[in-house]
């Protein structure tokens, strides 16, 4: 079975297994992201994310076009994480912040999404955060988790609409980033797509107005601004190379 990035052993959250325990997450900082060279991005975080990360597009396992924050040039490489598990920039992607929780999007249970938790993402700790109170109701901590997950799910669906519209307008172009370091090593980052600025400028006025009023044009501009961070990623790579 293939699990989402970061999640190694997700199980459905339930009161039977989790009602009487406390948990501690992020015990080793954000070291659980060490092997992630990219994570899903939401359009709602483009404005702040574009200041720190390259935002690129790719096709997921189901063939859908999705936006990603690029964290490294190759699999298993997160250049935004130091050796102590500390994130190197101020904005941490929503996908990382919600870990070890995740909301399913399969709608197999009467249309109600289910909350899952990665068993590899927490330690059982009596002094940690309780997920349920003595009456079996959601704890304040779990309610905050649910708020973040619901917001992320709503934003994910809007992001899917955004990507589908750009695909319909044939605005994506395949891109390969060729990276050369000072020590002579080279990398070719493949599988990326970006918005073609020439195609964007050739759209008629009505379509441009539609993209502007929907907020999509602003997100496109954020994506374009974020390309400058490919150079910043190269700087991080150079610093991490012995």
Domain membership of residue 4 (yes or no) is: no
Domain membership of residue 140 (yes or no) is: yes
Q: What is the predicted pLDDT for the residue at 107?
A: 53
Helices 216-226 and 140-168: angle between axes, nearest 10 degrees: 90
* Top-confidence range, 126-130, 142-146, 186-190: 142-146
What are 99-138's pLDDT values in tens digits? 999 988 655 555 567 899 998 888 877 778 888 888 888 8
What are 33-63's pLDDT values in tens digits? 999 999 999 999 999 999 999 999 999 888 8
* Top-confidence range, 10-19, 202-211, 227-236: 202-211
Element (H, E) at 114: none
Q: How confident is the model at residue 182 (pLDDT cuts 50, 70, 90)?
A: low
Domain membership of residue 5 (yes or no) is: no
Percent of the chain scoring above 90 in pLDDT: 57
Domain membership of residue 67 (yes or no) is: yes
CB burial readout 182-198, b (16+ within 10 A) else e: eeeeebebeebbbbeee
How far apart, in whole angstroms, are the C-alpha atoms of residue 35 and residue 205? 44
Q: What is the CA radius of gyration of the chain?
A: 20
- The residues pairing with 25 across neighbouring beta strands, listed in sequence order, are 122
Alpha helices in the chain (DSSP H): 15-18, 46-49, 94-97, 140-168, 197-201, 205-214, 216-226, 229-240
What are 74-91's pLDDT values in tens digits? 888 999 999 889 999 999
Element (H, E) at 181: none
**CA-to-CA dists, residue 116 to 101, 140, 178, angstroms:** 6, 18, 38
Domain membership of residue 34 (yes or no) is: yes
Domain membership of residue 3 (yes or no) is: no
Q: What is the pTM of this model?
A: 0.89
Q: How many domains does the chain have?
A: 1
Structural domain boundaries, residue 120: 10-240
Domain membership of residue 14 (yes or no) is: yes
How far apart, in whole angstroms, are the C-alpha atoms of residue 51 and residue 96? 17
Closest among 169, 194, 166, 172 to 56, alpha carbons compared: 194
Domain membership of residue 1 (yes or no) is: no
CB 87, CB 81: distance < 8 Å: yes
Average pLDDT over residues 160-184: 87
Q: What is the predicted pLDDT for the residue at 2?
A: 53
Task: Give the number of C-alpha atoms closer than 13 A to the C-alpha of residue 193, restricted to the C-beta side.
Answer: 17
């Amino acid at each position: 079975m293939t699990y989402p990035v970061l999640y190694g052993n997700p199980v459905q959250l339930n009161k039977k297994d989790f009602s009487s325990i406390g948990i501690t997450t992020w015990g080793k900082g954000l070291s659980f992201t060490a092997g992630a060279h990219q994570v899903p991005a939401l359009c709602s975080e483009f404005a702040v994310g574009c200041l720190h990360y390259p935002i690129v597009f790719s096709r997921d396992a189901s063939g859908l076009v999705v936006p990603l924050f690029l964290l490294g040039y190759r699999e298993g490489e997160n250049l935004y994480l130091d050796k102590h598990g500390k994130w190197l920039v101020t904005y941490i992607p929503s996908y990382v912040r919600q870990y070890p929780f995740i909301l399913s999007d399969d709608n197999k249970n009467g249309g109600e999404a289910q909350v899952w938790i990665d068993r590899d993402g927490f330690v059982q700790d009596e002094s940690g955060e309780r997920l349920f109170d003595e009456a079996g109701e959601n704890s304040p901590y779990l309610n905050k988790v649910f708020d973040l997950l619901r917001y992320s799910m709503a934003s994910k669906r809007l992001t899917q609409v955004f990507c589908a519209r750009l695909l319909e307008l044939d605005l994506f172009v395949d891109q390969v980033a060729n990276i050369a370091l000072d020590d002579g090593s080279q990398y070719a980052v493949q599988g990326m797509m970006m918005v073609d600025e020439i195609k964007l400028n050739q759209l008629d006025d009505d379509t441009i107005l539609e993209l502007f009023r929907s907020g999509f044009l602003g997100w496109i501009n954020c994506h374009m601004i974020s390309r400058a961070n490919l150079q910043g990623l190269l700087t991080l790579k150079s610093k991490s190379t012995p």
